[in-house]
Structure 1
């Protein structure tokens, strides 16, 4: 691929113009409105996640489509553990799953309904964290994916991660002959 000097200069100029405007956009957010909007979207995410989760029969909790893939159970446990660790580490708050994670095999011992309760508790915890996090902290920049984003955007990035795993779970349902419930939007 041949890149001209003109293209490189255009890219650099565009970058220098865009970066300051992007950082300003992050500080001009109405965070009271953001918290309301996030809570509404998060409730929808919770409802859809639980709907998808509950479509798989309990005897398929350890289903994997390949030996190296996550099991059905692990798709959801991973969402809980990863999201919680990211938020606790970046917000410097206590991890509500720390004691459970120290118990050898804790997540594997849960029945389907017990894991469902953990999912509900997890979603409720994240909603509480976002609503109780001080505005200054939500505006704080954190390293993420090779760049910097404010904490308020991190919540959306972590929701996007959950959406990714929920999408994989939908494929797991289809591989087991189960037609997933249609998408439940905002």
Structure 2
């Protein structure tokens, strides 16, 4: 088979044009898979967080193991406030807690049941944010902890932060004579 120079150049140009679009298709597929996997893991995280949270008696909401440590309540409020602020600031979206935070002492006045509802709303909000964030935004690089990470990885980093505080909450339960319910795997 004889190929003309013109045909060979056309094939090369077509190949160079197709490679980025294939790469973009792969990236879109990978980010779609990330959203699905994160959503599934996030639902499990929500279930386990609520399981741990609901094991502490309401009268222990202000328990601290040392004066400088977070209270039981603050462990969970911190997860809500920090994660929400990180996502809103980096994604340039409205903070759903903004009006609450303007109310002096809002988080400290919540009953155990009211804070549980805040946790549920928070988990639902993050899941909505991750599913509605566009591919280009998920690929955007952001400064974080002295380096740069893509936004999609920020979601995982923030979940890791919640796992840290949930682990502390498990210690709080044990210090109060409560045997935590077993780990819920993915």
Shorter-chain TM-score bucket reads: 0.7 to 0.9
Shift of 1:145: 1.1
Corresponding position of 2:173: 173
TM-score normalized by structure 1?
A: 0.85
Counterpart in 1 of 2:134?
Answer: 134
The equivalent of 1:57 in structure 2 is 57
Output aligned runs, 1:56-75, within 5 Å.
56-75=56-75
Structure 1 Cα separation of the partners of residues 76 and 85 of structure 2? 14
1:122-157 Cα offsets, whole Å, 9 max, x none, are 000000000000000000000111111000000000
Counterparts of 1:66 and 1:102, CA distance in 2: 28
Match of 1:32 in 2: 32
Structure 1 residue runs without a partner (length 5+)? 1-23
Q: Which residue of 1 aligns with 2:125?
A: 125
Residue in structure 1 matched with residue 80 of structure 2 by the alignment = 80
Match of 1:183 in 2: 183
Superposition RMSD on alpha carbons, in Å? 1.2
Larger radius of gyration: 2
Deviations 1:14-58 (A, max 9, x none): xxxxxxxxxx9xx94711111000000000000000000000000
Aligned to 1:115: 115
TM-score by length of 2: 0.85
Question: Partner of 1:96 in structure 2?
Answer: 96
CA distance in 2, matches of 1:77, 1:151: 23
Once residues 184 and 101 of structure 2 are traced to their aligned partners in structure 1, the CA distance between those partners, rounded to angstroms, is 31
User: Which residue does the alignment assign to 2:163?
Assistant: 163
Gaps in structure 2 of 5+ consecutive residues: 1-22
Partners of 1:146 and 1:45 in 2: how far apart?
Answer: 27
Q: Number of matched residues?
A: 161
Would you identify which runs of 4 or more consecutive aligned residues in structure 1 move more than 6 Å?
Answer: none
